[in-house]
Amino acid sequence: KNEVEQSPQNLTAQEGEFITINCSYSVGISALHWLQQHPGGGIVSLFMLSSGKKKHGRLIATINIQEKHSSLHITASHPRDSAVYICAVPLRDNTDKLIFGTGTRLQVFP
């Protein structure tokens, strides 16, 4: 079993739809990261969160430490949100090292 699992693997949406991407992990963590990889390959850190919820523009990340689950929501999705969204958690015994999920590929159509 992978230590970090994301769902769905692929997601298509119409512009304006509300998007939810899920991340489940099996290790105890201090924080979880969400990243965005653009179609050109560039990777951007979106959030690091250890509890509750964080919001940045139309992006909202939530985490439930007890359930070992995090969600990334996109409100009023737009074609420019099309990207791969990746979650990552630190290794329990070595927080210098992150374990990455395989990503959720999102395509938003006009």
Partner 1 sequence: DAGITQSPRYKITETGRQVTLMCHQTWSHSYMFWYRQDLGHGLRLIYYSAAADITDKGEVPDGYVVSRSKTENFPLTLESATRSQTSVYFCASSEWTGWVKFFGPGTRLTVL
* Residue numbers at the binding site for partner 1 (CB under 8 A): 4, 30-31, 33, 41-45, 48, 86, 88, 90, 95-103
What distance in Å separates the CA atoms of residue 82 and residue 1, rounded to the nearest whole number? Answer: 28
Query: Of the two residues 53 and 97, which places its CB atom closer to partner 1 in the complex?
Result: 97
Q: Answer whether 3's CB lies under 8 Å from 68's CB.
A: no
Query: Of the two residues 12 and 30, which places its CB atom closer to partner 1 in the complex?
Result: 30
What distance in Å separates the CA atoms of residue 103 and residue 11, rounded to the nearest whole number? Answer: 11
Tell me how far, at minimum, the Cβ of 106 lies from partner 1, in Å: 16
Query: Of the two residues 83 and 86, which places its CB atom closer to partner 1 in the complex?
Result: 86
Tell me how far, at minimum, the Cβ of 90 lies from partner 1, in Å: 5
What distance in Å separates the CA atoms of residue 104 and residue 70, rounded to the nearest whole number? Answer: 13
Query: Of the two residues 5 and 17, which places its CB atom closer to partner 1 in the complex?
Result: 5
What distance in Å separates the CA atoms of residue 4 and residue 7, rounded to the nearest whole number? Answer: 10
Tell me how far, at minimum, the Cβ of 47 lies from partner 1, in Å: 11
Tell me how far, at minimum, the Cβ of 14 lies from partner 1, in Å: 27
